[in-house]
Each structure stands twice: as C-alpha cells, then as structure tokens.
Amino acid sequence: MMEFGTVQECSRKSSENTGRSQNSATEEAGAMAVLVSQSYAGAYYPLTTLLPPTIFFRRPHSTAVQCLGFHGSFNVEQYNHNSRKHWDEFYERHQNKFFKDRHYLEKDWGQYFCDDNTIPSNGKIILEAGCGVGNTIFPLIKKYPQLYVHACDFSHHAINLVKSDAKFREDQMNVFVCNIAEDDLCDHIIPSSLDIATLIFTLSAVCPENMPNVIQNLGHVLKPNGVVLLRDYAIGDYAQELLITKNQVISDNFYFRGDGTSSFYFSEDFLSNMFVRAGFSIVDVNTYNREIKNRSKNITMQRQWIRAVFRRC
C-alpha cells in the first residue's frame, strides 16, 4: 500500500464534483460545494456488465496481479480501450451539464497566468490536458484573454462539445483528440513551447502504469522552467471509502466507478516521486480537506484533494 501524504487544513473553499449519480454542485462565493449520494458508485450499470467476471491488473515488473473483488482476467490494453468508451458514454449522457466551471483556478494559481504576479500575461501558452467539455479553459480565457490555449481529451464526444460551445474561439484555441498516455503531444504542439500545463482531475483517470508516460509527454512540450498545475483526488477521500465498501478495487488506490470510469487516489509522496523521476522539481505539494454535509441524506463527508505545482528542470 502507498503511504499517506500529510493532510493539511486549507481555508480555500473549493472542491470537485466526483460522484456519478444524484450529485449536485452549487457555487457559493466562488466555492464549489458537493453533495454526494451514498449509492453513486453503482448508479448507471451493474459492475458485472462493464467488466469480465475476473480482473487482473498488470503492474510494472510483474506479469499480472489479481485485483480485489473480481475473479477473471483483464489486461491494461483492454482497460485503456474500455476507458475511452466509458468516458465517451459519460459525455454523451451528461453533455456539458455535469461539472461546474472551475472559477477557483484564479485564486489557486493566478500568479502563474500573470506577469509580475499581478499583470495578466500578454501571450502565455497553456495546455489543458484532459479538458473535458471546457470547464477549465473557458473560465481561464475569460479571465486572461491574452492566453493561447491548447486543450485535449481522449473522448471524441467531449472535444465535439468544446468546439460547439458558443465560447469556443478558433483563433485562440487549439482543441484536439489525444490520449496523453499513449499519443505524442508533439504531433499537435511545438516541442518546448508551453508555459503552463494543467492537470485538473485528469491524472487520476489514467491507468497507474501509464502515469509516467503522461508526465514525460508534458515535459516534451513544456519550456524549460514551465510548470504543471495539478489538482486531483487524495488518499482518504470520502469517495474512495465508498468504492472500497463496494469492493470496486482494481489495484492499490485505483477503483472502478459504477459507470465504468475509474479513479486513482494520490499520496503526496507517490505523486511527487513520479514527477521528480521525470525531470521535474517540486514547487508546492499539499493535501487539504473539507467537511461537506449532505443534509438530504444526513451524511457528513470528509473530502480530500491534492494540489501541486511542478516545474520542468
């Protein structure tokens, strides 16, 4: 099992909608409040319709490791294929109405999108990796109109939704389909040309053995001293506890949700070590939590996220 990272209380009121059914998100003074149903993990399909009766998950330096809760065989290549299918189905079902726009990015990382910490940049180039339907890029463009944005997702349906959005600007956005764990970003972006790459609840959806590929891929398109801004799920989050209870475990800290999408939960050490091994330095890594109450279900949830900044050496 992976080690737990240090948990710090954070005064910022921000969170991400991680549920898959009967969830609602409301914005209060720039904060995201999340209501999560106890039964979200098995909402859309029984897990047996998504996976073969036995699952094996192949890890580096081993041929196959049996996963908890399943009985059968499954390989990483088939997992990658199914993952794209499930995310396409997710965006086809929810369109652009599931996630809220991420207006908290200015509060968390505004200095990286500006020159001299206060003046909006006159031409920084960013990549949103795993852009979904544009909940990151559209708020950023509105706040920092001088940015040029590359954005990609491996869901064709998500990319079509971005391009059909009234806020899409072809002269300011290069939006394309790409599996950042397997495809070469340099086919779409000039190498060493990016100032910033964002990974907002994206790396957790990648098979753990492919995560180093994602980080190396970002390193190829970032300038020296370019930064990766990351926010994702942390070990000990309420949603992780639900998935453990439902025995939807693929491997350590990696789980299937009820709609076939998957989620990994990070410790600070695990995340930091991956980036350091890929040639990045650590600027900031912290885990923070927030207690959220679902009054209709009379549930109190301890939500935990990890937020980090890594710089390309």
Which among 217, 262, 264 has a CA at the least distance from the CA of 84? 262
Taking the alpha carbons of 26, 4, 297, 247 in that order, is the dihedral positive or negative?
Answer: positive
Return the structure tokens found at 146. 């001088």
Q: Give the tokens for residue 267.
A: 């410790």
- Assign 114 a pLDDT band (cuts: 50, 70, 90): confident
Average pLDDT rounded to a whole number, residues 93-110: 72
CA 286 from centroid of its chain's CA atoms: 16
Q: Say which amino acid occupies 184.
A: D
Please report which residue ranges of 104-174 form alpha helices under DSSP H: 105-109, 137-143, 156-164
How confident is the model at residue 172, as a pLDDT?
94
The chain-wide mean pLDDT, for the chain, equals: 74
Per-residue pLDDT at 61? 37
Residue type, 172: Q
Q: Which residues of 240-269 are buried (b: 16+ CB within 10 A; e: fewer)?
A: bebbbebebbbbbbbbbbbbbbbbbbbbbe
pLDDT of residue 125 exceeding 90, the answer is yes
Question: Contact at 8 Å (CB) between 189 and 221?
Answer: yes
Instruction: List the single range of 27-41, 64-78, 90-104 with lowest mean pLDDT.
Output: 27-41
Most confident of 30-44, 215-229, 244-258: 215-229
Condensed to tens digits (0 to 9), the pLDDT of residues 201-220 reads 999 988 898 999 999 999 99
DSSP state of 108: H
User: What's the confidence (pLDDT) of residue 174?
Assistant: 97
Going by DSSP bridges, is the β-strand pair 249-251/222-233 parallel, antiparallel, or unpaired?
A: unpaired
pTM above 0.85, yes or no: no
Mean pLDDT of 240-257: 88
Sign of the C-alpha dihedral computed for residues 292, 297, 299 and 304 taken in this order? negative
- Interval 108-126 mean pLDDT: 77
Residue 128 φ then ψ, to 5°: -100, 105
pLDDT top residue among 36 and 181 = 181
Q: Cα-flanking dihedrals φ and ψ of residue 286, to 5°?
A: -150, 150
Distance CA 237, CA 255 (A): 13
The pLDDT confidence band at residue 261, using thresholds 50, 70 and 90, is confident
| Structure tokens, 171 | 């002269």
